[in-house]
């Protein structure tokens, strides 16, 4: 009886010790915040962790180590890219992924050209190059991109020149005659960094088309800031 009790007690102690060891062994030394070690997302059917690089001797290499680029075009971007558009830091982007992208209420948009996107992107980002939002309203690429972000082309007959004039001048306030923004998603746009004008140009194009500014967010630090903090990227 005593032997069984001792065995059970030792078994419990060993189990607790192994559990404590497993937690210690797999604990991260470099967390996102004190309370958030990482977040898990589904990327192309696989679970991907967004976390920081654990090697504390890690250094950036390649083009994102550069401090100086010719301006223009690589000029420092303002913190407030447009009135009503909120600027995000990394924690806000992570929160946006958790609460909007993972729940299909928002989209994280890599506004860079495809060649950059294909080398690596922030997990769950979709690629809509900044040039698309400057295309004519009848362009198929723009129409397809707008559908992705929850905007449909209006089907009613337009009024021709007078409608165009009122739309451009803003002399008559009414629903946008070309786009239906009633189901527009929350967006966070980003590009290569605080010196990159691609996502600001995409945001400018969206605003000109009438996209609700309260649904647009700007991650200014972009890929360079993301990499400086050692956060995960994925290759599409």
Q: 3-state SS of 51-92?
A: CECCCCCCCCCHHHHCCCCCCCCCCCCCCCCCCCCEEECHHH
Predicted confidence at residue 157, as pLDDT, reads 54
Predicted confidence at residue 108, as pLDDT, reads 98
Predicted confidence at residue 26, as pLDDT, reads 59
Predicted confidence at residue 214, as pLDDT, reads 97
Predicted confidence at residue 27, as pLDDT, reads 85
Of 25, 73, 95, 83, nearest in space to 191 by CA? 73
Q: Any long-range contacts for 178-182 (C-beta under 8 Å, 24+ apart)?
A: 178/137, 178/153, 178/154, 178/209, 179/137, 179/146, 179/151, 179/152, 179/153, 179/154, 179/209, 179/210, 180/151, 180/152, 180/153, 180/154, 181/151, 181/210, 181/211, 181/212
Predicted confidence at residue 163, as pLDDT, reads 60
Predicted confidence at residue 177, as pLDDT, reads 79
Q: Model-level pTM? A: 0.82
Predicted confidence at residue 148, as pLDDT, reads 98
Of 23, 47, 78, nearest in space to 204 by CA? 78
Predicted confidence at residue 188, as pLDDT, reads 98
Mean pLDDT, consecutive 10-residue stretches, the chain (236 aa), reads 43 40 63 96 92 96 93 96 98 98 97 97 98 95 97 72 60 71 97 98 97 98 98 94
Rg (alpha carbons) of the chain, rounded to whole number: 24
């Amino acid at each position: 009886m005593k032997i069984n009790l001792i065995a059970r007690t030792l078994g419990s102690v060993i189990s607790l010790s192994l559990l404590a060891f497993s937690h210690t062994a797999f604990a991260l030394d470099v967390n996102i915040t004190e309370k958030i070690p990482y977040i898990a997302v589904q990327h192309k059917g696989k679970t991907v962790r967004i976390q920081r690089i654990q090697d504390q001797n890690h250094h950036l290499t390649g083009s994102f180590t550069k401090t100086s680029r010719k301006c223009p075009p690589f000029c420092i971007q303002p913190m407030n890219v447009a009135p009503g558009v909120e600027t995000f830091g990394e924690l806000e982007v992570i929160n946006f992924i958790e609460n909007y992208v993972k729940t299909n209420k928002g989209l994280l948009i890599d506004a860079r050209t495809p060649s950059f996107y294909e080398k690596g992107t922030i997990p769950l980002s979709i690629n809509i190059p900044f040039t698309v939002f400057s295309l004519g309203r009848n362009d198929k690429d723009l129409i397809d991109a707008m559908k992705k972000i929850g905007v449909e082309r209006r089907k009613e007959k337009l009024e021709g020149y007078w409608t165009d004039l009122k739309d451009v001048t803003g002399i008559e306030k009414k629903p946008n005659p070309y786009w239906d923004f009633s189901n527009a998603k929350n967006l966070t746009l980003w590009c290569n960094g605080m010196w990159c004008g691609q996502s600001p140009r995409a945001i400018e194009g969206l605003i000109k088309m009438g996209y609700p500014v309260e649904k647009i967010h700007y991650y200014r630090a972009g890929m360079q800031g993301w990499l400086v903090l050692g956060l995960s990227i994925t290759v599409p």
